Copies of this chain bind each other. A is one copy, B any other.
């Protein structure tokens, strides 16, 4: 079976640089897959991507060695299992707030008797290989987002859930949860400290910690702190920011 590149990186103590796909297009996905990321996550939650389009994006990513993941809209078994059957090698699930939810997420990602995932890896076997049935449970990543007030109260229980591969911080929701405006890349302050606390608990449990970031600079800082799954912005933001900057350069050149 094709190995999960993120597991290899993590086994070696390295960090994975993750890209984020919110544009519903297999071609933008293919462009992103050429940019040097270790993994790409199709955002089916806040991204503008439905299932059918996501499949073509998974195919586009499969033209390379980049590890394909999805963020699912919610802790709902239908879409989680469909994403895995379509070949996702990791599921990032938002808003996991307690142990029961964490167990549910993991259950959806593992076959019986370990979990409740239904068997039928129609595209996943093409992507992963003929021994996918035997090795999927050890290959596919179950990743819980930590971003609610309730989750902060249940950190140990969530992160200690057997079978959880990683936790992933959504700083905007975490900000709201802690009574702050929704933003990312906090330089310090209570949200930053909560991030550190999550990282510390994860380290203690031997669970990988990940975080969503806007800039490469902040992502780098997070890696140095110990995060091993760092995302930089998203295709929507990269495109919007770069385009606006180019236009501004011309406008300023004309005005100057």
Q: What residues of chain A have their CB less than 8 Å away from a CB belonging to chain B?
A: 15, 17, 19, 22-28, 30-32, 34-37, 43-53, 55-56, 59-60, 62-63, 72-74, 76-79, 81-82, 85-86, 94-95, 111-113, 116, 118-123, 126-127, 133-134, 147-149, 170, 172-173, 175-177, 179, 181-182, 215-217, 219-220, 223, 230, 232-236, 238-251, 253-254
Residue in B59, B220, B240, B242 whose CB lies within 8 Å of A63: B59
Contacts of A179 in B (CB 8 A): 113
| A147-B123 in contact (CB<8A) | no
B126 touches A243 (CB 8 A): no
Contact pick for A50, options B52, B170, B245, CB 8 Å: B52
Please measure, in the bound complex, the distance between the C-alpha atom of A77 and the C-alpha atom of B55, giving whole angstroms.
22
For residue A116, which residue of chain B has the nearest CB?
B95
Asked whether, in the complex, the Cβ of A31 is within 8 Å of the Cβ of B126, the reply is: yes
B-chain residues with CB within 8 Å of residue A94 when the two chains form the complex: 118
Please name the residue on chain B nearest to A29 by beta carbon: B59
Q: Are B17 and A28 in contact (CB-based, < 8 A)?
A: no
Residues B17 and A182 in contact, CB atoms below 8 Å apart? no
Q: A-B pairs with the 6 shortest C-beta distances? A: A46-B120, A73-B78, A216-B249, A50-B52, A35-B243, A74-B78
Chain B residue with minimal CB distance to A235? B239
User: Which residues does chain B contribute within 8 Å of A170, judged by CB atoms?
Assistant: 118-119
Q: List 22 A-B contacts (CB under 8 A).
A: A15-B254, A17-B251, A24-B25, A24-B27, A27-B55, A35-B243, A37-B247, A46-B85, A48-B85, A50-B51, A63-B63, A63-B127, A74-B77, A113-B176, A119-B175, A119-B182, A216-B245, A216-B247, A216-B250, A220-B249, A238-B243, A238-B246
